[in-house]
Amino acid sequence: MATRSSKKRPTLKTERLILRPFALNDAPRVALLAGDRDVAKTTLALGHPYEVSSAENWIATHQEGFEKSKQVVFAITLKNNHELIGAMGLVLNLDQEIAELGYWIGKPYWSRGYCTDAAREILHFAFTKLSLNRVHAHHFSHNPASGRVMQKVGMRHEGRLRQHVKKWGEFFDVEAYGILRSEFV
């Protein structure tokens, strides 16, 4: 639970985006965007249907997760009108100096480069502020748009994990990507 002495979660900026902590009143917007079946179907984290209460429960974990150095989660918002368009986060393992990157963008905002912008900034944060050595991510093999994002930010394809995940009762292959601090420019 956030208290006055809480560690302040970071806010990052790019030319077009502000990446800020989620607040509980973002929950209806999260439920609307992440509640789209097309957004949920290629993510492991999102169920469907996705209720406002699920979004509230998820957002309520962020401060504690940050304080325990387990995760850092950003709301992706547009700089020009502050609209919330998606989410991106790092699941941290500070002992190993690694993190896993995950994200979704609301469907009306796809293919405008927003995910790539946010991922680049969050990798920069991971390597410079958190001093991590490696960030990894994976995507369903049938989700090439996510693979493009990983490639565009300089992550390397490291292999295919066969039937690594089960989503809605079906097993799927995933593509594994990673990037080292020494490779990030």
Return the structure tokens found at 175.
């593509």
Residue 52: closest CA among 72, 26, 83: 26
Nearer to ligand COA, 59 or 105 (CB): 105
Residue with tokens 């900026």: 13
Per-residue tokens: 102:
């995950």
The answer to whether 63 contacts ligand COA (rule: CB under 6 A) is: no
Figure out which of the listed residues 16, 148, 164, 181 binds ligand COA, where binding follows CB under 6 A.
148
Q: Tell whether residue 74 is a contact of ligand COA (CB under 6 A).
A: no
Nearest CB to ligand COA, comparing residues 68 and 156: 156
The two tokens of residue 126 are 């991971």
Structure tokens at 38: 């097309």
Task: Mark residues 89-128: x for contact with ligand COA by CB under 6 A, - for none.
Answer: --------------xxx----xxxxxxx------------
Give the H or E element holding residue 180: strand 170-180
Could you tell me if 9 and 62 are in contact, meaning their C-beta atoms sit under 8 angstroms apart? yes
Residue 104 burial (10 A CB sphere; 0-12, 13-18, 19+)? buried
150 close to 127: Cβ distance less than 8 angstroms: no
Q: Are 47 and 40 in contact (CB under 8 A)?
A: yes
C-beta closer to ligand COA: residue 46 or 132: 46
The residue from 17, 35, 99, 146 that contacts ligand COA (CB under 6 A) is 146
Q: Is 14 in the site for ligand COA (CB under 6 A)?
A: no
Binding region for ligand COA (CB under 6 A) out of 6-14, 120-128, 137-145, 157-165: 137-145
Out of 42, 54, 71, 133, the residue judged to bind ligand COA by CB under 6 A: 42
Using the minimum distance from each CB to ligand COA, give the nearer residue, 2 or 161.
161
Is 136 a binding residue for ligand COA by CB under 6 A? The answer is no
* Residue numbers at the binding site for ligand COA (CB under 6 A): 39, 42-43, 103-105, 110-116, 139, 143-146, 148-149
